[in-house]
Structure 1
Amino acid sequence: MTKIKTMLLAAALVAPAAIAAGSASAQVSGIAVANPEQAVANSRAWTAARGQIQTQYKTQIDQATARRTAIENELRPLVTAYQTAARAPGASEASLRPQAQAIQTKQQAAQQELGRLTQPAQRAEAYAIEQISAKLNDAVQAAVRARNVTLLLRPEAALFAQPAADVTPAITAELDKLVPSVGITPPANWQPGQQGQQSPAAAAPAQQRQQPQGR
């Protein structure tokens, strides 16, 4: 879920200040909670897109996983040597600096290398998420209207909430209606955030994919 929050393009969890009461199908009255990232993560469109991305970019993903493991193996003795030197009598910041800088340089180079390998898959993810996020606000509004909710909170903002007060599944159900599927191949000139600039209802994300896991 951490990556989902990182990829959240915009917050659109805003319910109307007042909504007409009297819905016969209302399951929650007044105050409810919802996790928008989870709602998107559980949507059928994202689940399908994630699977397509893992298949289409399997070679790059596998390369990144293997390279990540190799880098960790390369760094481990350097870190061990640094820790040993740091415990030695007379160790100082100045004496340890060359080792620390060598580790940092290798880490930065590794991050850049892994970023190049995973960039195509991450770009496809961002494109899929942005398409779902564009409808998140509409899904929220539909869910709260159906349940006569006048105040919608994130779960962490509520001290306590009954399970029945969680309308996250209802939002996911609305997303499934609004966005049954999405594409994973962005146009050549596409940049993340463009759809959010075209529509005020941008928000999203999700990325609960298996390693190389991770709006």
Structure 2
Amino acid sequence: MKTRNSAFAAALLSAAVISVPASAQVAGIATADTSVVIARTKALGAAYQSIGTQYATFAQQIQQKRKEINDMNVQLDTNKDKELTQVELDAAIKAKNPLVAQIEAKQKEIGQLQDPIIKAQLYSVEQIAMKYEAAQQAVIAAKKINIILAPDAFVWAPDAVDVSAAITAELDKVAPTVGTTPPADWRPSRQGANLYQQIQQLFENAARVQAAQAASQGPAAQTPAQQPDVR
């Protein structure tokens, strides 16, 4: 799964801080972003924080193994330009450098540590997604909406056409909390996995923006527990 390497970092981010325009609808036509709707829910924010606490030891191990991999990559960087190129990696593989096998082993260990974290996050996302249709229908009825389209279906639309916040509010009512421990035989659906990836991307993008802003403002602006504002 492409979000594997940053899944635990995203688990520490609160979903409740995502902001969207005030909800309304124009001439019976509205738009909603499913991933934003679910990411904003209080239930998902609480679930991710709970998962982050539960697997805090795993996070420390993952961080340590990534540091060890980075140290090995430095040794494989033959021209010492602080960038391991594919040419350098291929040369190491051809020379059967033992560091290559060690890196692969540690990457496998990281994957094994992340698997239960990702599974727990996926499970929490799907539990909320199961309530999405009912929440959406409640908003449709309350606002007398005739059509809801995905945001990318519009070339332009006023902010008032977005009902994502209204659907999130309904989800907060019908799913105030969700479990984070899936049954032993549980497997995520393809739709759930896709939705999870979209939500992870929202968090990761927000974290990058926040990190860049903190770096530009200096050490005083860096607060480890600060939550990103995902828009």
TM-score over 0.5 for the alignment?
A: yes
For the Cα contact (< 8 Å) 1:126–1:192, is it kept in 2?
Answer: yes
Counterpart CA distance in 2 for 1:104 and 1:171 is 49
Cα gap change, 1:145 to 1:110, in 2 (>3 Å): farther
Asked whether the equivalents of residues 37 and 165 of structure 2 are also in contact (C-alpha less than 8 Å), the reply is yes
When the two structures are aligned, how many residues end up with a matched partner?
178
- State how far apart, in whole Å, the 2-side matches of 1:195 and 1:99 are: 40
Picking from 154, 177, 193, the partner of 2:150 is 154
Q: Distance in 2 between matches of 1:96 and 1:191?
A: 36
Q: Residue 25 of structure 2 contacts residue 162 of structure 2 at CA under 8 Å; is this kept in 1?
A: no
Alignment of 1:9-158 (within 5 A): 27-79=25-77, 81=79, 97-99=90-92, 108-158=104-154
Residue 162 of structure 2 aligns to which amino acid in structure 1?
A: D
Contact 1:82 1:96 in 2 (8 A): no
**Structure 2 gaps, min length 5:** 8-22, 209-231
1:156–1:107 distance in 2 versus 1, CA, 3 Å: farther
Q: 1:148 to 1:73 in 2, by over 3 A?
A: farther
SS in 1 for 2:29: strand
Describe the shift of the 1:184–1:161 C-alpha distance in structure 2 as closer, same or farther (beyond 3 A): same
**Gap change, CA 1:28 and 1:177, over 3 Å in 2:** farther
* Distance in 2 of aligned mates of 1:67 and 1:96: 19
Letter in 2 for 1:155: P
Q: Which has the larger radius of gyration?
A: 1
Q: If each structure's helix is expressed as a fraction of its own residues, which one has the higher value?
A: 2
Aligned-residue offset at 1:150: 2.0
Larger RCO, structure (CA 8 Å, separation 6 or more) = 1
Task: Please give the TM-score of this superposition, normalised by the length of structure 2.
Answer: 0.63
Identity across matched positions, percent? 38
Q: Quote the Cα distance in structure 2 between the aligned partners of 1:41 and 1:114.
A: 25
Task: Provide the aligned C-alpha RMSD in A.
Answer: 3.7
Query: Which amino acid counterpart does residue 113 of structure 1 have in structure 2?
Result: E
- Judged with a 3 Å threshold, the aligned counterparts in structure 2 of structure 1 residues 187 and 73 are, in CA distance, closer, same or farther, namely same
Contact 1:124 1:186 in 2 (8 A): yes
Q: 1:194 to 1:181 in 2, by over 3 A?
A: farther
